[in-house]
Chain A
């Protein structure tokens, strides 16, 4: 009750003080306005950058789990030896997995072998031949440049067709059209139905263009009847990665008959090191950006502090009067803190009123309008700036000796 009426009194005083010095208040608030505008725009840019990067890296397979016998990262040699004793992942297990998963979009088994390939009198060695299903197009995130990927029917029917990587296409065919031609994989003829878009080794993924993809049935029939499969499981959304991973682990343990007391006999790998690295970079960019823009807010805060000191000095007598009739230190402190907070809050809201339309106008470049979290943060930050910069002046006011204060003129 007392707190509320003191707060009301504080707000009333703050409002009167601002009205009594309109020009001064406006000028003082300007620093906060500019600070909030720059900080919120920076926050929006960072949020937009993050969002567009997340969608971008989803194309690189960050939303894909790679289920394998081996982990990508071994803690020790012992781990590696244990992993090599694990039973292979079979095609039947993958089919079963694809049937049971509900949280993932697509599942593709992948077998792999290094072979040389040729066309007419040209040969290319060091090519990876992948045996998979039509699902591979989705799980790998590959893009078809020409032609098409092989169909489900071709895949399950084990047709001798292939899709070739960009490097394979240029090495074997140079400028000739590859579609419909038959190439030699090992010694076996496969007809080219599609060419993949060049991926490049942007993330150290060398050799991504030196591949030939054939139906898994052909792979087993021609090259390796019982290969150790990798399974690519595409979740389709970075938001539900954790749930999807849990489901995947549970289902695959059941399929492979892992008893509850036993550890997994497979590894679920994930390209989250990209995400980690990205988050680190973003954290640096973000903190540097916010620090620089935050400086303007800091300067604004100093302006508030300065004007609050002036205000306290001007109103020394008023402080004396209030103390004489029973205002406690706390009440005086609260009064001036409220005043500083109100000024900053008004500045913050004005800043938002300026930066929000700007963020809408620049939506395409900033990668999105201002998120609600930035709006809330801006309001919070301006309040905190007010409280922080108002504290010393308010403290001085609260500590004033009532007799001295009353004597002042």
Chain B
């Protein structure tokens, strides 16, 4: 099923929001780690193009470079060679502060281990990106509450992470990722630490976010998780092995959260 999608293949519907710029345009991206005398080639030249509103899954065996790719897409890391254009802007040219700004405004991270601040309440965790964005106190509060309501946690706002279940923690993390209304939501094995029922609830949340027009990229090991996405990118040994679109039709309306 599905078919190979060429990175260059234009999709006329995307042009409604941005005439000629892809959201993510990656060209021969490589990432090497030098460890003493050895060099680990985590990525060996990845070409990738992702448009606004896409819901893509990245799959591949352990050590194939999925997390490395996600870190690069999320501007947490910088490539050893190759270019990455986000919204048409070359990220490789940016300094540390500009990258922090991009992460703050354009990227929402969801991690396998949740990565919440242990000593802060759910509400404060969700507020945090807005603090670094310089949003005023009142607006910050309102938006954090709204995001927590959105993920179904309006009755757990004052709880700290250790007072929440795994699924609830991941919801807080998703609310934190959503609260800045980012261009991309990046999730690295978001259900990896959850039982399958809770995992499915989280995935349903992603489905809903996708339906509302959010761009989502999920790293996963599980085929059934990947099948929810409309595009599956398979990575092997630091290269894109295959890139297939599950269903071409039935694209959702372009309304964001």
Contacts and interface: CB of A to CB of B under 8 A. Distances in A.
Interface of A: 1-2, 5-6, 9, 16, 20, 317-318, 320-331, 401-403, 406
A313 B117 CA distance: 15
A331 B97 contact: no
B7 interface: no
A20 B118 CA distance: 11
Given A16-B119, A317-B115, A406-B115, A326 B132 contact: yes
A326 B103 contact: yes
Contact of B103 (A9, A325, A329): A325
B71 interface: yes
B97 A329 contact: yes
B74 interface: yes
A331 B134 CA distance: 11
Interface string B97-131: 10011011100010100011101100000001101
Nearest to B105: A326
B136 A6 contact: no
Contacts of B71: 403
Contact of A324 (B101, B103, B131, B134): B103
B204 interface: no
Contact of A5 (B100, B109, B131, B180): B131
Most buried by B among A16, A325, A403: A325
Nearest to A6: B131
Contacts of B133: 2, 326
Nearest to B179: A325
B134 to A, nearest CB: 3
B249 to A, nearest CB: 35
Contact of A329 (B96, B134, B136, B140): B96
B128 A325 contact: yes
A16 B115 CA distance: 18
Query: Top 3 A-B pairs ranked by shortest CB distance?
Result: A326-B104, A2-B134, A326-B132
A328 B98 CA distance: 9
B109 A325 contact: yes
Given A323-B103, A327-B132, A403-B71, 14 more contacts: A5-B137, A318-B117, A321-B116, A321-B117, A322-B132, A325-B104, A325-B129, A326-B103, A326-B129, A326-B133, A327-B100, A328-B132, A329-B100, A406-B115
Nearest to B104: A326
Nearest to B74: A324
Nearest to A9: B131
A326 B102 CA distance: 7
A398 to B, nearest CB: 9
Contacts of A327: 100, 132
Contacts of B140: 5
B90 interface: no
Interface string B77-101: 1000000000000000000110011
B115 A321 contact: yes
Contacts of B76: 323-324, 402-403, 406
Nearest to A1: B134
B115 A6 contact: no
A9 B124 CA distance: 10
A40 to B, nearest CB: 34
B176 interface: yes
B156 to A, nearest CB: 19
A324 B116 CA distance: 11
A328 B115 contact: no
Contacts of A402: 76-77
Contacts of A328: 96-97, 100-101, 132
Given A329-B97, A403-B71, A403-B77, A322 B128 contact: yes
Given A318-B117, A403-B77, A325 B136 contact: no
A20 B134 CA distance: 27
A326 to B, nearest CB: 2
A378 B93 CA distance: 46
A327 B97 CA distance: 9
Contacts of A5: 131, 134-137, 140
B106 to A, nearest CB: 10
Contact of A1 (B109, B111, B132, B136): B136
A99 B145 CA distance: 82
B202 to A, nearest CB: 19
A9 B137 CA distance: 11
A326 B100 contact: yes
A402 B132 CA distance: 16
6 contacts: A20-B119, A325-B128, A325-B176, A326-B132, A406-B111, A406-B115
A327 B104 CA distance: 8
Interface string B149-168: 00000000000000000000
Nearest to B135: A5
Contacts of B132: 6, 322, 325-328, 331
Contacts of A323: 76, 100, 103
A336 to B, nearest CB: 15
A113 to B, nearest CB: 84
